[in-house]
Structure 1
């Protein structure tokens, strides 16, 4: 078993840390705001990391990850493995890894997919960037928090595939909302729509798991007034990271840009705290261009 410092105990971090503790690892956590029960809590990140073999960070953005990891390596230069499960820019992950290596420790980026439900149930998908030996060292811990753990290559590649995945997901969720609204206005019952499309070539996770109409899928946020499994504001954050990567690599992502613009409008209208599937309400309220299609 491993001694783990878990920095960041929010909606994702707390259940992940709990799963590690239940798997038999010694876990000490720290968060400035959240103080979940069932986890040994420390008074600071430095106290949480004292004598830890591994430090896991689950934080809102790359700047905070950089600040915390830099502070820990400066406070205690003992070589250890740092695992960042946050979603940050590819360039940030690679820069943090460079700093950690200079301090004599190791770093991998391991962002996740699966939302709060996946974090709670231990069914997250981890996409990992880093050296083979560091991935091998981290994998037993990641398996205790997830059902899929994939090594994607060099540092930053975990963040790269996460950006690509969530860009795809955002586009899927929007076009599904458009098709559902179109179908209803053509006289289709959403249940008939679901029965056909979920068994046809138009099926997707956005429909089969996250259907944005109540009553179609058990556990869908639509059944609970769009209480977030993955908030629209977080989707916008991830889309902006994808757009940054597209700019940095000279990649034209027309549908990704369109999805980013739509989620930006949705969040700016005050809906950032809703599940990202609530974008269907924006589709319902929109009007086609005056000139038609």
Structure 2
């Protein structure tokens, strides 16, 4: 049977991932509960012949809906043999999926990094957990760097830790740019300095290319997703080491849109 790949969740990241699978020659289709270019809303059509599912939905609630509840793809797609979890979720939740998904279906966690600009370009970085040998060509069609982190769940643990750093860099970069404004230091000059000095970080170096860099907080945008991702980190954090994480969340929630100078 020919492999039919489905991407569930065709928003900021999933749309580019789907497009690059199709460009790579894979028989790939998309599904989203919202109208999205290139994605359908008929779950029966999406599940017809589906063999490999890639989930790129927002959180554990939406993952449950896709796999078990509203869409129930685990039972609605009888030919399904592989699920690749690309959403950023709590590692504990991801590991618990193994007992909820039939053993005939392989589970791989492969969260990604790179934001929309790299999803569209097909240059994502994937962190994987589990045996990826059968799906490596799919990941290579969507990304250029693949880190094998170990057994199932290890990829998600690595992604949550990576995103914790991304969230803290985002919060602190935006904070220092606001302080620079108040002190009369030009944004472009400070960003150029940071890129070549000890404060260098991904957000500052790509500030004018990363689509969310100037956004204010909203629950459904990328800044809001970073707040959600810190919750995933808190789920595995030692109880006595959560203060800095919660402070970073609080700072992100205060961000207002930043206009270009």
Q: CA offsets per residue over residues 81-104 of structure 1, 9 Å max, x none?
A: 11111111112111222222x342
Matched with 2:245 is 256
How many angstroms does 1:142 deviate by?
A: 0.7
Q: Which has the higher contact order (CA 8 A, sep 6+)?
A: 2
Change in 2 beyond 3 A, CA 1:29/1:191: closer
Q: In 1, are the aligned partners of 2:85 and 2:109 still within 8 Å (CA)?
A: yes
Q: In 1, are the aligned partners of 2:117 and 2:211 still within 8 Å (CA)?
A: no
Q: Secondary structure at the match of 2:145?
A: strand
Q: CA offsets per residue over residues 75-124 of structure 1, 9 Å max, x none?
A: 34445111111111112111222222x34211111111111111111111
Change in 2 beyond 3 A, CA 1:251/1:138: farther
Distance 1:128 1:53 in 2: 19
Length, aligned pairs only: 252
Change in 2 beyond 3 A, CA 1:179/1:42: closer
How many angstroms does 1:222 deviate by?
A: 7.8
TM-score (norm: length of structure 2)? 0.85
Q: In 2, are the aligned partners of 1:111 and 1:159 still within 8 Å (CA)?
A: yes
Residues 118-127 or 1-10, more deviating: 1-10
Q: In 2, are the aligned partners of 1:111 and 1:126 still within 8 Å (CA)?
A: yes
Distance 1:16 1:161 in 2: 21
**Unaligned regions of 5+ residues in structure 1, if any?**
211-216, 281-293
Q: Secondary structure at the match of 2:29?
A: strand
Q: Give matches, 1:125-164, under 5 Å.
A: 125-130=125-130, 132=131, 135-164=132-161
Q: Give matches, 1:56-135, under 5 Å.
A: 56-70=54-68, 71-78=72-79, 80-100=81-101, 102-130=102-130, 132=131, 135=132
Q: CA offsets per residue over residues 42-87 of structure 1, 9 Å max, x none?
A: 621x431322231111112112223322322323444511111111
How large is the Cα RMSD of the aligned pairs?
A: 2.6
Change in 2 beyond 3 A, CA 1:222/1:257: closer
Larger Rg: 1
TM-score (norm: length of structure 1)? 0.76
Matched, 1:200 2:197: yes
Structure with the higher fraction of residues in helix conformation: 1
Q: CA offsets per residue over residues 12-50 of structure 1, 9 Å max, x none?
A: 21221111011101112221212313x6x4621x43132
